[in-house]
Amino acid sequence: MPTACLKLSTGLLLLIGTASGCTPAAQPDDPATTAAVSTPIVIAHRGASGHRPEHTLDAYRYALAQGADFVELDVVATADGELIVRHENLLAEVELDAAGELVRNAAGEPVVTQATTDVAEHPEFASRLSVKQVDGRLHGGWFSEDFTLAEIKTLWARERMPQLRRLNRLYDDRNRIPTLSEVIALIRAERDAGRHGAGLYIELKHPTYFRYEGAYLDGRPIAMDLGTALLEVLSAEHFLSPTDLYIQSFEIDSLRSLKRELDGRSLALPLVQLFGDISNSRYRARPYDVVYHAAAGDDLAARYGALGTLIEDGLTTDVSYADLATPAVLEYMAATYASGIGPPKQNVLRTRPGPAQDPDGDGLALQRWELTGEIGAIAAASRAAGLELHPYTLRAEEPFLVRDGGQVLPVAVEAVRLLEAGATGFFIDQPLEGRVAVAAYLQQRESARIE
């Protein structure tokens, strides 16, 4: 495969390979089968979140303008059962001590550690501050399920990573929190105006919490099926074309339940099983629904079918995503409910820790990651099972970039490497960079075909 600088119609230059010899990435055994779809898709992660505060209508508009094929969003619920778009049900998070108690400053105020809204500045909502267990971990803050939609609409959206994305702070307090219906209306309006055509890539956020574990501030169980609620909104909005949607979750039970409901309605929508990191030896990422139901002593065979028979130790509270990343399990997912999988990008392009660096000279060393040149086995296994492969998350900011031979890879080059490794799409915070990568990859593939 030739390596070159390809001049694209956008006028941008994309270097395929690295500066040290422009070496292409390692290829799967059968390059002709690297893509299950003819054109890979660019998935705008929480909108164009590298340019605007995430999960805002501005972020979605910018993603559409940059050519995203799908806009990714996360849905959580309000006290009155409305679906809003937030990465977490936490509207703002506060610090807890080792005992799980709220930490307060000298003025007696809670210490906010992360906020995607200005809820902490609303004195009328001070009493909504609470500590809850979500997915097995204690969190302190203000939770979406303790606010009505009308109350949510009094809040402003803010940048989640203000120290890293300082320019995004210019757009703080300009957007209200959108509902799922409002996002659908935006997509439809853009299409009707003939400007952009894109679909939605929707994640069910914390479905076990909302259905089984979670409670409102007054202690009443939430007992809400996010999958059912999602289908009700999509049905009401007449937004149910399988070419317009992907629905994703980190939890197996939520997707299997949703698949049964779709079958009952004679609907076919692509479902994507998200994976936690399968290569992190320090932390075993686990599907929380399995952990929860195994601990509760539920009938796992009834809930998960034959899945437990495909895992060496069966379904237990210790089962990890690594246990699920096998050919047999992926084939089972493909046969029973899933159209694709979404693993972390480092599980596709394998990495190893590089030397920590302090680029700003502020004494805060950052971990750097080097590509090993290996392609994770999950890529070939997903392809063999007929599953789409959509790794996450590509980001253009320097702290998130990987290195090859000690040299930083631009995010568009990393995206091309993922496509070469078999990805059929990818999640990215800067959709235009993804658009450039797909164009370069297709041109590269066409050149190889002609030769």
pLDDT at residue 162 in the model: 95
Measured CA distances, 18 to 69, 142, 448 (Å): 27, 45, 19
* Mean pLDDT of all residues in 392-398: 97
DSSP state of 237: T
* Residue 82 maps to a domain: yes
With pLDDT > 70 as the criterion, what percentage of the chain qualifies? 89
Q: Give the domain extent around 203.
A: 5-89+176-450
Q: Who's near 208: CB < 8 A, 6+ residues apart?
A: 135, 251, 253, 254, 288, 289, 292, 293
pLDDT at residue 422 in the model: 97
* Residue 168 maps to a domain: no
For 67-104, the DSSP string reads T-SEEEEEEEE-TTS-EEE-SSSEEEEE-B-TTSPBPB
* Residue 152 maps to a domain: no
Measured CA distances, 427 to 57, 180, 435, 441, 443 (Å): 18, 20, 12, 16, 21
**Separation of alpha carbons 346 and 376, rounded Å:** 8
Task: Answer whether residue 26 shows pLDDT above 70.
Answer: no
Q: What does the pLDDT look like over 183-200, one tens digit per residue?
A: 999 999 999 988 888 999
With pLDDT > 90 as the criterion, what percentage of the chain qualifies? 84
Q: What does the pLDDT look like over 164-186, one tens digit per residue?
A: 999 999 999 999 999 999 999 99
pLDDT at residue 282 in the model: 81
Number of structural domains (the chain) is 1
pLDDT at residue 4 in the model: 34
* Mean pLDDT of all residues in 249-256: 98
pLDDT at residue 451 in the model: 75
Closest C-alpha to 246, from 136, 338, 334? 338
- Which band of pLDDT confidence, cut at 50, 70 and 90, is reported for residue 36? very low
pLDDT at residue 93 in the model: 98
* Residue 272 maps to a domain: yes
pLDDT at residue 20 in the model: 30
* Residue 247 maps to a domain: yes
* Residue 117 maps to a domain: no
* Residue 150 maps to a domain: no
Task: Answer whether residue 321 shows pLDDT above 90.
Answer: yes
- CATH number of the domain at 39, please: 3.20.20.190
* Residue 110 maps to a domain: no
* Mean pLDDT of all residues in 1-22: 37
Q: Which of 26-40, 332-346, 352-366 comes out lowest in average pLDDT?
A: 26-40
CA pseudo-torsion sign 185, 191, 196, 201: positive
